[in-house]
Each structure stands twice: as C-alpha cells, then as structure tokens.
Structure 1
C-alpha cells in the first residue's frame, strides 16, 4: 500500500480479459483478502483530517455560546444540555450538506467528492417522495424551486440554531437551552422536505439526529426528560444494530472490513480473517469470533451503561463503548460513516458520563417513553419488513443485510443517462476512466468493486441473478453497475440503501431517458427479514417492467466463494416477455 499510489492487483490484462466475469473476479478477491482496496495512505489521512475538521468545527461552534468559555476547559462545559443540542444539529448539518456518510473516493465519488447540496439546491434534479400516492402534494419526481427553497431553509435554520445562545435557565443547566421554536422549525422543515424527497431525510440521518432533535425539544419542558430521551434513542441505536446482526451475513462484513483495515497492515494478519487463503475466502474463525463478540458488546454493554447509573460498572461500560466505536472508526470502512461514530462516542461521554445518575425514575412526563416506542417500533418493522423500511431507520447498520440492486447497462443506455438527467457527477464508469486514465485501466478498480460486493453474501446472489436478467442477450454488451453508483449519479447521495435504486428510480429514469426494451436490466434483491432465511428478488426491465421474481436461500449464499455465481434460484413468477 503506497502513500500516494493505490496498491492494485498485478494481472496480465490480455489473459485476464479472456476470462468470464467470475474468473476475472478471482484475482481481485484474493488481492482484496490480503490488501483490501489498496487505498493510498494519503487518502486515509485525508479522511482522518476530515474527522479532525468535524471535531474542531463542533468545538468552535459550542464556544460561541454565551456562558461556555475556555477551549481547553472542556470538563466544565461538556455535559451542558445545550452543548449536546448543538452537536446534534451540527452533525445533522454536516451530514445533510454531504460531508459525512458517502463522501469521497471511498464511496466511489471522485469528481466531485460529494453530491447532496450540489443536487438539492438545484431544481430539475430527481427527487424520490416516500409516499407519493398517499401524501397530498408530494407526487412527481422533479425537484422544484420550492423543494430547493425548503432544503435551503433547513440549512439556514440549522445555522441559526448553532450560533444561538441558551434561553430558559431550567434546572440542570447554567446557560440555558436552545429556543424551542428553532428545534420545532428544524423538525418541521426536515419532515416537509422528507415527504417530498426521502433521500434528503435519509442523508440527514433522520433516524439518529431527527430523533435526537425530538429529544432535545423536551429540554424546554424538562432537561431531565431530554437526557432520558436521548439516552433511550442511543439505546435503540445500539440494541437495534446488534439485533440486526444476529444473522449469517455479519461475519462476511467483518472479514471484508478487516481486510480493508488500514491499521492491520501485514498481509498475514488479513489472511487470518478468512477460512483458508487463497482458495476458501469465506469468513474464518477470527471473523466469526469478532462478529459474535462485537454483537454481544453492542447488545449487552449499553444495557449496563443505561441501568448502572454510573459507578465502576458504568465507567467500564462507557470505556468499552468508546473502544467499540473507535474500533469501527479506525477501520475507515467503505461508505465512511466516520463522523457518526465520533458522534456516538461524544454521546457516551456527554449523556452517560456527564449525567450518569439520570434514569427512567427521574422522568417528569411519559414523552421519553413515547419517543422510545416510536423509534424502537420502526426498528422492529424494519427487521420484519425490510422492503418497506430503509435499513437506516431499521437500524440495520453494517449487518450485511440490506436491499441491493445491480444494473446491467448497454452503452446506449449509459449515454442516455448521461445526456438526459440533471446531474453533477458523470456515470461511474466514466468517473473511473477519468480517474485512472483509460478504459482498460479502469477495469481493475471496477472489478475490485465487484469483488467487494461479492465478499458480501448478497453479491453472490446478485451476480447469479445478473445472468438471468441478461438471458437472451449478449452479456458482453452490458456493463454491470452497482445500484449505489447509479444512485450516486442520479440523485446525489448513496449509502448502501437499495430503497433508493428500486422501481421508483427506474420509473424516473425511464421517463427522462426512454430506454428501449433490453437496454437496462436490473436485479433487485430485498434484505432478509429477521424471521426468514430467504431473500426475495425481482428482475426488471426499465422499459417493460418486472419480468421475473422469486427468492434465494441465505444458506446457499453463505456456503459459496465470492466468485461463485451459481447460487440456486427459486422462481415464483416469470414472464415470457423478456
């Protein structure tokens, strides 16, 4: 791994190009297993600098508050409720502008390194309303000046709140809390723009920072209720994420993430996370242990943290959770949810260390419990009905189990997308060619991306189903593109959520591009419901609609190698109109 140069697999391109897609993935997968994506050290340092900038920004903004003084006097003010309120809103702003999750080259964003604000302040771009047929005044998929104005208003109100002083010297605070009207306005604008475009709500990480803004709102009634509510939201995040990892997929996430970890650099360490390198690249004993151990920590330690009310048990639990999130942070995972992990570490300190004695028995109203029920209920529904609930509000973070899609595009379809949609970034293949200098050189990172997807269990199903999606056509005429990459270009933000690359986006693109039958074929694979051991799939032609559906068994995916595209498929419905 070089400081400025990516460590890429060394293959004979002429011979390598003669292989099938599965055969071409093999050397990429073996390289990933012992090197990872080969990210240059300088790029990792860039993300480290971004984390530092995020922390410094929050620090300086907090210090603009009247009554909070001393850059190094953190111990005197870190537990002030208004500090927590401002960090919540600051992180929401950081994310919804586009600097957080999904930023930069580790999310395949090269030119420019972000979308978000560049799209959402621009009328004419695609928006995806969550319930257009149920919520009045939300139909349509074109962003209007009104949508851009509401998004801009959200940014402005967040900035106003960040530079406001506290009001209402209630018990538990010496400098007051943010005015309730500011928090109500943030929530109102977030809800309004979310009903017009679910992507912005998800990008703002509404399930985390939106829920915590509701908790912060309770401070105008009772600071104690705010602290309890915020603690309960954190508890749901941890327990929800842990519960979603009780599956057969998560060890595959661990082995993939650890092989890409910049801290564990020796190749012999990375190889130990696999069953038997180089022939058996399923998760090894170390990956399985780490998966189960980390799930136990995430599911059990927060209970100690919440119910211990401080003391030595609470102190140990807080230290363990800080180490837990730092472990994720230091691996610089793909998708880069870096600042989120920093925020969760801050929450441990500000809420559980700063206010260890405040618990359920101190509530002055049932509102914290009501918030808990709503957030936890969403998590339950998300795990039972993953097609209906995004993996973000479903708290299925990095569980290896989320909706995915794989798009099979002809060159003519690629050209139509580039010509007919309002976008900031070019199509993924074009970005890679520009970054790596030629179409031939771009093949290596493209197949490294295939290997990354294939290391996750759903990748085996996606590449198997791609054969069925292109049946009757020459597969060499298609370029396979991850649905996330399409979303990145078309709507400006992506973070592993197949809900943004489903039939709704297909319809929006078809309306603009007028694809011919066979030009765009898409594999859509639902996440696994927690109570079943199958995953539903749909094969869709952008011009003619769904032409096949069925399911694959999870057991058949977890027993195969990353390059194996022969997963048994159970067809439930098939159309003769292919």
Structure 2
C-alpha cells in the first residue's frame, strides 16, 4: 500500500472497462481480498489526525476548559467527571450533525469536497427526506428557509449547552459532595432535544446523522433524571446499543461482513496472509472461512452480547475489568479496520463510555441497576430503549437500521443503481454542492480511466455481502444491456446527492429516487435501481423492489437469504433465484432495455 498512490488492480483499465459486469466483479472481488479499496495510506493518516485532533483533543479541551477543570493532559483529574462525559456527548452530536463524524471523507465516497453534511443542510433547494408523510408542515422534498433556520438553531443550541459552565444539583452533591464542576444545565438541554426532533421530522437524514437514536435518549436523561438515575440509565442505554447490535449479527449476514472489512484494514496492510485466511479459497471461493466465522460469531457476536451484560450486572471488580477490556478490544478492532462508513468517533466515544460508566461509577459503589430510584422507572426506560430495536427487527420497513440497533450487522437495506450510457451525468442537474464521485476522483487528480475502474469497487464491495448478490441478480434478469451500463453502489450515490449516508438504504429508496427524478427527468430505462429491505426476524427471505426513476416501482419480490449467502460475488452459477410478488410486466420477466 503506497502512502500517496492508490493500490490499483493489476489490469489494463481500457480492457477492464470493456469486460462484462460479472467479470469485473470477479477481478475486483479477488483484488479486494488482499488490498481492499486500495486507498492510499495517507487517507488513514488523515482520518487518524481528524479523530485525534478535532474530535478527541478538541472535545476534551472544550469539555475541561468550559467546566473549570484542570488542563486536558491531567487525565486523572477529569476522566471520571460527569460533566466531561455529558459534554463529550454534546461535542459528538455537534460534529456528527455537521457531517464531520461518521460518513466523512474518501472512505464514504466524499473526495472533493470531503465534507457533506453542513454544506448540504445549510443550502436551500437541496434534497430533504421527511420520515413520515402524515406529519403536518413537512410536505415537499426540497430544503427551504424553515429547514435552514431549524438546523442552524440546532447547531447553536448544542454549542451553547457545550460551552456553558456546569451547575450544581442536589442529587449530584449527595453522591459526590466534593464535586465543583457540576452538570450541564438541564435547562440548556431542552432546546437541542426539541430542535433535533423538529429537524428530524423535516429531514430524517440529519436526525440519523446526529445519531439521534442513541444520543437523544442520553440528552433526555441529562435533563430529567437525578444523578444516580442518570448514570444507571446511561448504562442501560449503552448496553441496549451493544446487545442489540450483537443480537442483530446472529444469522447468515455478519460472517460475510468480516472478510471484506478485514481486507480493507490499512492496519493489516503488511499481513496479506491473514487477509486471505478470511476466505475459504481466495480466487475461487470467497465465502467466509472458519476463522472468519469464529471472529464473527465468537469474538464479535458473543463478546458484544455477553460482555455488556456482565458490565451491567457484575458487582465483581476483576470480572468487570475483564469485560471492559473485551469491549475496548472490540472497539479498537473496529477503529483499526477503518470500515467504509467510518464510524470512528462513535467507537472512540463508546470506548471512553465503557471506562467512565463501568469503572468510574461501578455497580458496587451504588450505581447498579437496582439502585435506580424506582423499579417502575427502570422498567419504563428499558421498555422505551427496546421499542425501536424490537419493532425494527420485525418490521425493518418501518424503522431505520440505526434505531433498530443493527450497526454493521450486514443486514441492511441497500441498493445498486444502473445508468444507461451517459445517463449518470444527468445527476449534475440535482441541486447540491458536490458532483458525482467519479468526477470528484478526477478533480482530485485521478486519471479518468482509473477513476472509472475505482468506481467499480463500491458495487463489488456490495456484492461481497449477501444483499449485493441478490441486487445484481435482479438487475441481470431485467437489464439485457447491463454490461454496457454504469453500475453504482447506491450508498455512495446517496452520499453525493444528500450529503450523508451510513448504510441505511431507506435514504435511497423510491421516495429519494422520486426526489432526484423531479430535478433530473430521466427517461424510462435510463436509471434502474434494484433495492432491498433488511431481513426481518423469523423470515427466511429478503424483499426487493425494482425501481425505474421515470416509472416508479416496477417489480417487487423476494430471494432466500440462504441462496445469496452461499453465492459467490460474481455469480458464476448465474443469478440467484427470486420470487416475483408483483410486476408491472405481465409475465414478471419483462426486460427493461
């Protein structure tokens, strides 16, 4: 891996681009085994610098200076101060809401500019996606002055709460009588809470980018709970996030996440043998090896479910410390892998939260689940925290995979977009502060032909996961000219259109495509999208939609998860079987040339 140069596949770009789609996927998926996306090492350094300087150092400095605490290098004097934890959460929400956290930079398809978020959300006319059409005063799919004012007010309200000095509370002083820094003023938390909800009702993208499903409950706890109840509620929150994510990884999907994520890790650049060991037979069979299955279901799922439960209920210090070490190891591995959604800040915060909550305020010092002021309060908080994960697991069409707590489980809604020759350029008609990713790479200095080769990698990455094989199969069955089309990974396209994505296909479903079509005006057949919903609990299938930008949904159907889990990324045995449940075409097999 070069520090400044992309690790290109060993192909002639002109010849490669003339090959059939499945042959391109075969070549690139085997290239991915050892090289991943091939990003220059300087990109990893860029992310490390951003996280270290902007997020960690910036957050700690702001939290300590504004709270009257010793300088940031005196870690022992502030690491267990409650106001520091509160302000680090506010700092995280502020950066995430600006687009400076997850889904930032080249690994999220943002090359020039590297920041989406705020550049889209403070601009009139950009696409916004309301979560529910029945909510009054949210009609339309373009951003207007009300949206900009609400979003700007949210950022200001977060900043005000962040820089304001703490205030003492009786419940805090009862437990920590020598505390002098206090807590974030609960009155200052009301505005961020209300504004985040209002902004989210107008545009779900911003709510999800701010990770409202996790940080909004924390801000509510800061506002309404006494100190001990607040600490225990924060423990319940983080454990629900961990355990929910762990349980969601049970199934056929997650083991297919581990190999391509490991292959993309710059930390393992000098260990190609370890990367190859993630697959059964690199070059021929890219299903996960036994080692990958072990990493997925023992080191991943097992640790993410059992260790948090130990942390929540253990009164034994050595056992608690061991569980803390396991969780720190899990988050460090994710950080070191630089997954394409790049949730680095989230993993750093959860690493700090693990130490702060379970060693700073351990159960044996009066911060156990049973120490909440009322069992009814405990039951109510648990029920509220579990509502969306349970609903979203049974009805993934109703809830984003983020509130469903399926972080990086491999079980996502997703899409693959197929443009007729030249049609991708029509996306330039969409009002946005960015261009298509291939144009961003070229503007950054990439040769146009190599940029075109690289832009085949995201769709290949998708095909290395279960859903991608189903999506490609659907396109193959309906597009006889698929080899001449420009095939793009939907999440990357979405990033260039609305400024953010984090693996949530609900942000690039038929409603978002309709918003794009309103500005672009594709002709029938020019843009065809295969879109899939997450697998629901208890269901052996995934549901898909075939969407023509000009015509809307033209087919719905299902495929069996077992079939896509066993297929190779390049589908050497042909498209996986699908069952059509509705079709615009009489026989359900209409071609869309």
Distance verdict in 2 for CA 1:277–1:477, change over 3 Å:
closer
Question: Contact 1:410 / 1:477 at 8 angstroms: preserved in 2?
Answer: yes
Q: In the TM superposition, what is the alpha-carbon distance from 1:87 to its structure 2 partner?
A: 0.8
Which shifted more, 428-437 or 370-379?
A: 428-437
Q: Which among 257, 270, 276 is matched to residue 281 of structure 2? A: 276
Question: Contact 1:107 / 1:335 at 8 angstroms: preserved in 2?
Answer: yes
Q: In the TM superposition, what is the alpha-carbon distance from 1:18 to its structure 2 partner?
A: 4.1
Give 1:510's aligned residue: 517
Give 1:129's aligned residue: 130
CA distance in 2, matches of 1:253, 1:489: 24
**Pairwise mapping of residues 460-539 of structure 1 onto structure 2 (< 5 A)?**
460-471=469-480, 474-539=481-546
TM-align CA RMSD: 1.6
Which shifted more, 134-143 or 7-16?
A: 7-16
Q: Which among 187, 204, 213 is matched to residue 219 of structure 2? A: 213
Partner SS for 2:342: coil
Q: Which among 367, 370, 389 is matched to residue 380 of structure 2? A: 370
1:404 maps onto 2:414 in alignment: yes
Q: In the TM superposition, what is the alpha-carbon distance from 1:169 to its structure 2 partner?
A: 3.3
Question: Contact 1:469 / 1:539 at 8 angstroms: preserved in 2?
Answer: no
CA deviation profile, 1:151-204 (whole Å, cap 9, x unmatched) = 001111111111111113322341221111211111100000000000000000
CA distance in 1, matches of 2:12, 2:65: 58
Give 1:115's aligned residue: 116
Distance verdict in 2 for CA 1:369–1:347, change over 3 Å:
farther
Q: In the TM superposition, what is the alpha-carbon distance from 1:266 to its structure 2 partner?
A: 2.1
1:562 maps onto 2:566 in alignment: no
Question: Contact 2:126 / 2:498 at 8 angstroms: preserved in 1?
Answer: yes
Q: In the TM superposition, what is the alpha-carbon distance from 1:476 to its structure 2 partner?
A: 4.7
Give 1:291's aligned residue: 296
1:245 maps onto 2:254 in alignment: no
CA deviation profile, 1:243-290 (whole Å, cap 9, x unmatched) = 100010111100111111222222112111100122111111110110
1:60 maps onto 2:61 in alignment: yes
Q: In the TM superposition, what is the alpha-carbon distance from 1:462 to its structure 2 partner?
A: 1.2
Give 1:382's aligned residue: 392
Question: Contact 2:424 / 2:486 at 8 angstroms: preserved in 1?
Answer: no
Partner SS for 2:381: helix
Q: In the TM superposition, what is the alpha-carbon distance from 1:368 to its structure 2 partner?
A: 4.7
Distance verdict in 2 for CA 1:61–1:496, change over 3 Å:
same
Give 1:104's aligned residue: 105
1:304 maps onto 2:305 in alignment: no
CA deviation profile, 1:423-478 (whole Å, cap 9, x unmatched) = 0110123223334534322222122222211111111111111123425xx33553
Partner SS for 2:3: coil
Question: Contact 2:475 / 2:530 at 8 angstroms: preserved in 1?
Answer: yes
Give 1:147's aligned residue: 147
Question: Contact 1:310 / 1:353 at 8 angstroms: preserved in 2?
Answer: no
Question: Contact 1:281 / 1:562 at 8 angstroms: preserved in 2?
Answer: yes
Partner SS for 1:229: helix
CA distance in 2, matches of 1:415, 1:259: 32
1:78 maps onto 2:62 in alignment: no
Partner SS for 1:532: coil
Where do 5+ consecutive residues of structure 1 fail to align?
Answer: none
Question: Contact 1:321 / 1:345 at 8 angstroms: preserved in 2?
Answer: yes
Q: Which among 320, 339, 342 is matched to residue 345 of structure 2? A: 339
Give 1:257's aligned residue: 261
Q: In the TM superposition, what is the alpha-carbon distance from 1:16 to its structure 2 partner?
A: 3.0
Partner SS for 1:248: coil
Give 2:434's aligned residue: 425
Q: In the TM superposition, what is the alpha-carbon distance from 1:327 to its structure 2 partner?
A: 1.2
Give 1:391's aligned residue: 401
CA distance in 1, matches of 2:84, 2:68: 11
Question: Normalized against structure 2, the TM-score is what?
Answer: 0.93
Which shifted more, 404-413 or 119-128?
A: 404-413
Give 1:356's aligned residue: 362
Give 2:581's aligned residue: 572
